Every structure is written in structure tokens, then in C-alpha cells.
Structure 1
Amino acid sequence: MTLIKSISGIRGTIGGTQGDNLTPIDAVMYAAAYGTWVKQQRNKEDYKIVVGRDARISGSMIQNLVMNTLVGMGIHVVDLDLSTTPTVEMAVTMEHADGGIILTASHNPKQWNALKLLNNEGEFLNAEAGQQILDIAEKAETQFAEVDDLGKITRNDAYFDLHIDEILDLDLVNKSAIEKAKFKVVVDGVNSTGGIAVPLLLETLGVHPVKLYCTPNGEFPHNPEPLKEHLGDIMKMVVDEGADFGIVVDPDVDRLAFIDEKGQMFGEEYTLVAIADYILQHTPGNTVSNMSSSRALRDVTRKLGGTYTASAVGEVNVVQTMKDTNAVIGGEGNGGIIYPELHYGRDSLVGVALFLSYLAERKIKVSELRSEYPVYFMSKKKIQLTPQIDVDAILKGMESKYANEEINTVDGVKIDFAENWVHLRKSNTEPIIRIYTEASSQEAADSLADKIIGEIKVIAGL
């Protein structure tokens, strides 16, 4: 069992002992630290924080602990109850709140839960803010309110509808074309809140949803990470139902994958590529994804006259780079769509609406759309080292070895070759180097990864 404290929040397994797992005491301690940080940042009379959760089994328990801790600090809480990560992000700004907490462990199995923390703009905290909260928790110096100054909890069940209304108001969401297309779409909500939000969005757009695992009871019917090896049921159901395609989301609905009409994966890396293609055709501009995402986005961006920039891994880094480059679309290759016209956060719901708009305007099948993009294959491997080995020195050695190639050291070492690339990242918690490669075939991607692992071993003296 595990408790992981990091600058991006606190994540752990339910049960076990305090400090080693995400126990009630840990949930209270970190909620209190976050509440203290919010007060330090905002320095005003009244404070308001939005709280929502995915449908995992521990969610209600953790949410009540977190909300009542904030109440005890004199902070008012807007309770969204079952929600999605992007919905909570949008609610923070719509409520003019001082921050937000999403209780979700994203794609991790059901025994996990986490506190994801937002600033007053509904965006994830940067590294500095995250570290400040960890420091506050370590010192345990939270001040609680007197009895007459306790906060209040206000329940608001309107935010799915409000979120969808904002999506429908976007210029590039073509509701009339979608309605005319009369799409039939299978939805795998992995028995979490995507099972509520995605069908609601589809029905509002005039799409017929076929629900698969859309009961929000937290009993995940398969590994909740939306990868091909976990999605056999929906791949079969799309074909059996004669559906136009399938939609898969993770438990908190910030990752999006599609299944084509033949029951084949569209490719999680290509979710962002296709939606960026649509956006760039209507609003030419720049794009951003993280350094471990497919080169296909760069290819599409350049073809349409824009500039592509690779950011460090992590949503907060993607968002900052998007702001710095005035990007019109961005995200992560794991199916995370960030569309600034709506908000700066990964949002599967806006991704679905934009994808439907593109299909409806083109009058094209999903498999036909996929065939238009460059074909790349990725390999993801890692090498386990010993604690005595200087990982930074190894990365420096690889950087020197390939000094004549295009090198990016913003996040580890990324080496761009003419036909492929490799990205080396060290773990912050273990003596591990993760190796990501991409090439024109799976064999070539795996071969490049194995070659790099061999070179690392030589430098490390293994």
C-alpha cells in the first residue's frame, strides 16, 4: 500500500496506517494544508473552494473529510459531489472561487484515491505552490475557526449542464451539423462520472448514445486506463451495435480515446492530432504537447502553417507553454485535450464535441480520418538502476553522445533524429530511467529503445 506526496497533490491507497496510505487522517491533514495555503495566497475575509469527485468507492468518505476540514477552517465549500476534473476546473472560475479540489486517482485502480488541487483560475498548481503545501502539511500549523466563523457547504448539481452549455456556445462546435449526421456512439464510462457526463453531452448534441459501463458506482469493470488491452468489450460492442464509433474516458474524464467503426483503436495519441487538425483549419495558430507525445501533432501543425512546441511532461507545464506561445490547441498524447477557448485544462467533453463537429463537417468515417495522418508507433520501456548510480550523470552522458542531433533538455533528455526520436526521463522517486521512443514501425521503435538501453548500461558500467 502506498502514499505518494508530490508537488501535484497527494495520492495513495485506501486503508492501512497513517503516513503510509491515504487514510482519513492524511486526507484531513492535506486538506488543511491546502486551505491554509489558499488563505495565505488570497488574504481576504471570505473564502470559497469547489470540491467534486469521481465515482470511486472511497470518494464519498474522502469528500466528506475534506469538505468538513475546510468548513472547520472557516472556508465555504461548493459541493459538486459526483463530477469530472474539467467540470470542477470550470466551476472554480464560474463560482469566482479561491480554489478547487478534485478527489480522483485518475486512471489508477479502485483502491487508489487522491486530492488534485487547483488555484483560483481552475488550473493545477505549479511546482512552487505544490511544495508550499507540502511544507505546510509537514509543519502542521493549521489554524481552525471559532464556532461562529465556521464555513458552510452549499450543494450545486447544475455544473454538468453549465459545462455542456459552455461547450455548445463555442464557435467551432457545430451542433446543427452533428444533429444532421444522426451519429450512434458507444460510450464506456468505466462506471464513473464519464458515464453521466458523456451521454448527457451526446444527447444534447442530438447523438444517440449506447451506454457501456455507465453506472457511476466505482466498480471499474476493467483497468481504467484507456489502453487497447483493456478495451475489448467496447471494441466488440461498436461493431455489434453498428455504431459510428466508440468513446472511452478515464474515471475523472480528462483522458479521451476513440474506437473506429470497425472496432479498432483510433490511437490515444491521435485524439489530440485529429482535434488539432480541425481547430487549425478554422483558426490557424500554434500547438503544444509534452515531449513524450507523438510527432504527428508537429507534422499536422507545420502542414497548416503553425509552430509546434514541446513542453515538459505534466499538464501544468503544457498549459504554461501554451500561454507562452499563444497556442490555439494543445494537450497530452494520452488523450488529453486542452482548448483555451473553453479553459486551460484537459477536457474530454470538449474533445468529444470538437471531434463530432469534424466528422459531421467532413462526412467521413473515423477509420478514414485516421488513415489521413502520419503513421507512428511508440515504445515505452524503463531501465532499473541501483541507488548508487548517478542518474543525472547518465543523462549528461547521453546528451554528450548525441550532441550533433537536435537535443531538448527541458525535461530529461529528448533526442530528435530525422526519422524517429527518444525521450529519457528519470523518476523522482526511484533509480529508474524511462525510455520513450517513436518510429515508423513498432519494430523500429522497440529496436531504438533497446539500443538506447544498451548505451545507458555502458555509461553506467552495468
Structure 2
Amino acid sequence: MSLIKSISGIRGTIGGKVNDNLTPLDVVKFASAFGTWLQNNKNKKDLTLIIGRDARISGQMVSSLVTATLQGLGINVVDLGLSTTPTVEIMVPELKADGGIILTASHNPKQWNALKLLNEKGEFITGENGAEVLALAESEDFNYAEVDDLGKYETRDDAFDIHIQQILDLPMVDVEAIKSKNFKVVLDAVNSTGGIAIPMLLDKLGCETVKLYCEPNGQFPHNPEPLKEHLGDICELVKKEGANVGVVVDPDVDRLALIDEKGEMFGEEYTLVAVADYLLKNKNGVAISNLSSSRALRDVAQTHNSEYFASAVGEVNVVTLMKEKNAVIGGEGNGGIIYPELHYGRDSLVGVALFLTHLAKENKTVSELRAGYPSYFMGKKKIELTPEINVDDILSKMEKEYQNENVSTIDGVKIDFENNWVHLRKSNTEPIIRIYTEAKSQEEADKLGDDIIAKIKSLI
């Protein structure tokens, strides 16, 4: 079992021993650290935090611990209850709160849970801020409130309505165009909160929803990461129902995968590509993804005379570059759509609305839409090194070895060849180099990975 403390939050498995797993004491300590950090950095007495959780079995317990801890610090809590990551992100600025905590381990299995930390904009705190929170957790330098100064507690049950209405009000979401198509949509929400939120949105868009695993009980019926090997049931159901499209979200609803009308995967990398195609067709601008995301987004941006830039891996890094470049659209190749017109966070709900608008306006089937995009195939490999080998030195040698190619070193080493690319990233915890490749065929992508491994071995 595991406890992972990082600059983006704390994540671990429920039960076991303190400091080894996500135990009640670890939850209280980390909630205390974040609350104390906010108090130290805000020039105001009354602070308010928004909390929400996915449908994990441990969610209610963890939520109770976090809520009581924050109140114990004298911080007011607005509890959204069962929610989604993007909904909590929307509600922080909506309610003019000072920050938020999302209780979710995203795509991790049911024994995991996590605390994800938001600033007053409803965006993930920076790495620098996260390091300060971790330091506070280690020091346990907390000062709890006296009885007359305990934080207040309230609940809200209108967060999904507010989130969805903001989506419907977006100029680029054409509700009438979607309604005119009478789309039939199969939804796999892996028995979490997407089973509540997505049907509410689809109803407003005039779609017929066929629900699969939409009971928010936290009993995930398959591995909750929305990858092809986990999604056989919805692929079959889309064909059986004669549906126009299948929609898959992860437990906290920030990743969106799509299934075409034939029951085939649209490709998680292509969720962002399709949404960007629609948006950039209507407004020249900038598209952003990370260095390990598909080249297809760059290709689509270029067809619309728009620019493309890549950030280091990680949502915070994508958002930072999006703000710097004033991007129209951004996200990650794992199905994460970030649409700044709404907010700077991955959001499956706005992804669904924008994709269905695109589908309606193009007057094509999902498979026809996908066929219009360049096809790329990805490979993922790794090379395990002995502890005495300096991984940074190996990466520097690889950079020099391919200096005549287009090389980026903002996150490991990314080498862009004419027809393919390879991205080398070192593990922060093990002597491992992870190798991501993309090419015009799976065989070529896999061969490129093998060739790079051979090259690394020759440099050791």
C-alpha cells in the first residue's frame, strides 16, 4: 500500500499505518497544513474553503475528517458533497472562496483517495505553494481555533446546476444545433459522480442518455482509467443501442474518452484534437498540450493557421503556458479538455458540450469525424538503470547525440524527428527513464522506442 506526498496534494490507499497509507491521521495532518498555509498567506480573518468529493467508498469518511479539521482551524467550509473536480473548480470563484479541496484519487482504483488543493481562482496550487504546504505538514506547526472561533459549515446542492448553466451560456456551445440532432448517447461513469452530472447536461442538450455504470456508489465495475482495454462493455452497448456516440469519464470527471457509433475508440488523444478543430475553425488562436501528447493537435492547429505550443507534463504546466500564450484551447492527451472561456481546469462536461456541438455542425458520424484527422500511434516503454548510473547525465548525452534534430529539454528530453518523436522522462522515485514515442504506425512507434533504448545502452 502507498502514501504519496507531492506538490499537487496527498494521495494514498485507505487503511494501514500512519505515514505509510492514507490514514485518518494523515488526512487530518495534511488538511491542517493546507488550512494553516492559507491562513499564513491571506490578509483576512474569515477564510472559506469549498470541498467536494467523488463517489469513492472512503469519500464520506475523508470528507468528514477534512471538514472537521478545517473548522478546527477556524476556517468556514462549504460542502458540495458528491461533486466533480471541474465543478469544485468552478464553485471556488463562484462563491468567492479562498480555496478548495477535491477529495478524489482520479483514475486510481477504489482503495485510493486523495486531497487535491485549489487556490482562490479554483486552480491547482503551484509547485512552489505545494512545497510550502508539504513543509508545514512535516513541521506540524498548527494553531487550532478556540471554541468561539470554530469555522462554520454549510452545504450546497446547486453546484451542478451552476456549472452546467455556465456551459450552456458559452457562445461556442450551440444548444439548438445539438438538440436538432436528437443524439443518443451511451454513458459509462464508472459508478461515480459523472453518473449524476453528465446526464443532467445531456438532458439540457436534448440528448437521449443510455446509462451504464452510473450509480454513484464507488464500486468501480472496471479499472477506472478510461483506456481501451477497460471499455469493452460500453463499446458493445453503443453498437447494441444504435447510439451516435459513447461517452466515458473517470471517477472525478476531468478526463473524457469517446466511442464512435461502430463501438470503436475515438482515441483518448483525439478528444482534445476534435474540440480544438471546432474552436480553431471559428477563431484563429493558440492550442496547447504537453510534450507527451499527440502531434495531431499541432497538425490540426496548422490547418487553421493557428499556433501550437507544448508544455512540460502536468496540468499546472499546461495552464501556465496557456495563460502565457493566451490560448484558445488546451489540455492533455489523456482526454483532458481545458477551455479557458469557462475555467482553467480539465473539464469533461464542457468537453462533451463542445464535442457534440462540433458533431452536430459537421453533420458527420463520429467515425467520419475521426477519419478526417491525421492518424498517429503511440508507444510507451521504459529502461531500468542501476542506481549508480546518473540519469541526468544520460539525458544530457541523448540531447547532444540528437542536437541536429528539434530537441526540447523543458521536461526531460523530447526529440522531434520529421515523421515521429520520442520523449524521455526520468522517474522522480526510481532509476528509470520512461520512453514515449509517436509515429504513423504502431510498429514504427514501438521500433523507435527499441532503437532509443539501444542508443541509451550504448551511452552507458
1:68 correspondence with 2:68: yes
How far off is 1:221 after superposition? 0.2
2:434 aligned residue = 434
- Distance in structure 2 (CA, Å) of the matches to 1:124 and 1:459: 39
Deviations 1:178-211 (A, max 9, x none): 1110000000000000111111100111001000
1:144 correspondence with 2:169: no
3-state SS of the aligned residue for 2:360? helix
1:223-262 correspondence to structure 2 within 5 Å: 223-262=223-262
1:292 aligned residue = 292
- Distance in structure 1 (CA, Å) of the matches to 2:88 and 2:299: 33
- Distance in structure 2 (CA, Å) of the matches to 1:56 and 1:45: 33
How far off is 1:432 after superposition? 1.1
- Distance in structure 2 (CA, Å) of the matches to 1:384 and 1:86: 36
Tell me the number of residue pairs that the alignment of Structure 1 and Structure 2 aligns.
460
Task: Name structure 2 gaps, 5 residues minimum.
Answer: none
Normalised by the length of structure 2, the TM-score is: 0.99
Deviations 1:62-120 (A, max 9, x none): 01000110000000001001000000000001010110000000000001000000011
2:161 aligned residue = 161
Specify the code of the residue in structure 1 equivalent to 2:43. Answer: N
- Distance in structure 2 (CA, Å) of the matches to 1:73 and 1:142: 8
1:163-182 correspondence to structure 2 within 5 Å: 163-182=163-182
How far off is 1:361 after superposition? 1.0
Specify the code of the residue in structure 2 equivalent to 1:448. Answer: L
3-state SS of the aligned residue for 1:181? coil
Task: Name structure 1 gaps, 5 residues minimum.
Answer: none
2:392 aligned residue = 392
3-state SS of the aligned residue for 2:438? strand
How far off is 1:301 after superposition? 0.5
Specify the code of the residue in structure 1 equivalent to 2:89. Answer: E
2:95 aligned residue = 95
How far off is 1:430 after superposition? 1.3
- Distance in structure 1 (CA, Å) of the matches to 2:241 and 2:296: 31
How far off is 1:384 after superposition? 1.4
How far off is 1:239 after superposition? 0.2
1:208-219 correspondence to structure 2 within 5 Å: 208-219=208-219
1:83 correspondence with 2:83: yes
2:195 aligned residue = 195
- Distance in structure 2 (CA, Å) of the matches to 1:447 and 1:4: 34
2:329 aligned residue = 329
1:407-418 correspondence to structure 2 within 5 Å: 407-418=407-418
- Distance in structure 2 (CA, Å) of the matches to 1:273 and 1:87: 23
1:374 aligned residue = 374
1:26 aligned residue = 26
Normalised by the length of structure 1, the TM-score is: 0.99
1:354 aligned residue = 354
Moved over 3 A (4+): none
- Distance in structure 2 (CA, Å) of the matches to 1:156 and 1:166: 17
How far off is 1:43 after superposition? 2.3
Deviations 1:396-449 (A, max 9, x none): 011010010000000000000000000000111111111000000000000000
3-state SS of the aligned residue for 2:180? helix
How far off is 1:153 after superposition? 1.1
1:184 aligned residue = 184
3-state SS of the aligned residue for 2:309? strand
Specify the code of the residue in structure 2 equivalent to 1:37. Answer: W
2:5 aligned residue = 5
- Distance in structure 1 (CA, Å) of the matches to 2:134 and 2:387: 24
Specify the code of the residue in structure 2 equivalent to 1:362. Answer: E
Specify the code of the residue in structure 1 equivalent to 2:326. Answer: N
- Distance in structure 2 (CA, Å) of the matches to 1:304 and 1:145: 56
Q: What RMSD, in angstroms, separates the aligned Cα atoms of the two structures?
A: 0.6
1:205 aligned residue = 205
Deviations 1:307-342 (A, max 9, x none): 100000000000000000110000000000000000
3-state SS of the aligned residue for 1:100? strand
1:404 correspondence with 2:412: no
1:308 correspondence with 2:308: yes
- Distance in structure 2 (CA, Å) of the matches to 1:303 and 1:361: 18
- Distance in structure 2 (CA, Å) of the matches to 1:146 and 1:29: 18
How far off is 1:2 after superposition? 0.3
- Distance in structure 1 (CA, Å) of the matches to 2:411 and 2:153: 41
3-state SS of the aligned residue for 1:61? helix
1:453 correspondence with 2:447: no
How far off is 1:41 after superposition? 1.7
How far off is 1:6 after superposition? 0.6
- Distance in structure 1 (CA, Å) of the matches to 2:305 and 2:216: 43
Specify the code of the residue in structure 2 equivalent to 1:19. Answer: N
3-state SS of the aligned residue for 2:66? helix
3-state SS of the aligned residue for 2:455? helix
- Distance in structure 2 (CA, Å) of the matches to 1:305 and 1:296: 14
3-state SS of the aligned residue for 2:378? strand
2:420 aligned residue = 420
3-state SS of the aligned residue for 1:28? helix
1:266 aligned residue = 266
